[in-house]
A = this chain, B = another copy of it.
Amino acid sequence: MELSATAKVVLGMVGLGRRTGYDIKSTVDKSSRYFWAASYGQIYPELKRLEDAGLLRGEDESQGGRARRAYSLTPAGEAALHDWLASDDELVAEMRDEAMLKLFFAARLDKETALEIVRAKVRQLEQKQAALRSIDPAERPESPDDFPYLVLDYGIAYSEWSAQWFRELEQKLAKRR
């Protein structure tokens, strides 16, 4: 059972507990978004596919005029999720960082303009860090070594480290020539 990228997030999120498409999108936006995003245009069709494939069970929970369909894992879904998590296939790891690309070409810029790229990157990382730190403490787990917390922690540590690297670069560049 080859899972698509979107199937992985959706299955995993439902595995965290019974969820609607809307719930999945909110959870993704509050957590996995920084390392794995998903939009409604992917989520809803994927929920249907996974239900058709027998990995999810959807149950209608509409109340009055408000539509609502909540999904949970079937035994086959649990197995598929577990298989993916335990598989040792190559791990996808991609990034797209415009600041790096600009910096790569920065030799054609004067010093001040090149410095501005570095400063913009520092600001971006500081904002990301602040966003991660502000993730509702009430939703944080009791034990500081639960997995979503670990991932959040990595995000914070990374943006801190990276911001520091760029601050040092700023110093180095400012001094020269």
List the interface of chain A (C-beta within 8 A of B): 5, 8-9, 12, 15-16, 31-32, 34-37, 81-82, 84-86, 88, 91-109, 113-114, 116-117, 120-121, 124, 145-148, 150-151, 154, 157-158, 161-162, 165, 169, 172-173, 176
A100 and B158 alpha carbons, distance in the complex (Å): 13
A91 and B127 alpha carbons, distance in the complex (Å): 13
A103 and B91 alpha carbons, distance in the complex (Å): 12
Protomer copies: 2
A95 and B34 contacting across the interface, CB-CB below 8 Å: yes
Q: List the B side residues contacting A36 at CB < 8 Å.
A: 96-98, 100-101
B35 and A101 contacting across the interface, CB-CB below 8 Å: yes
B145 and A108 contacting across the interface, CB-CB below 8 Å: no
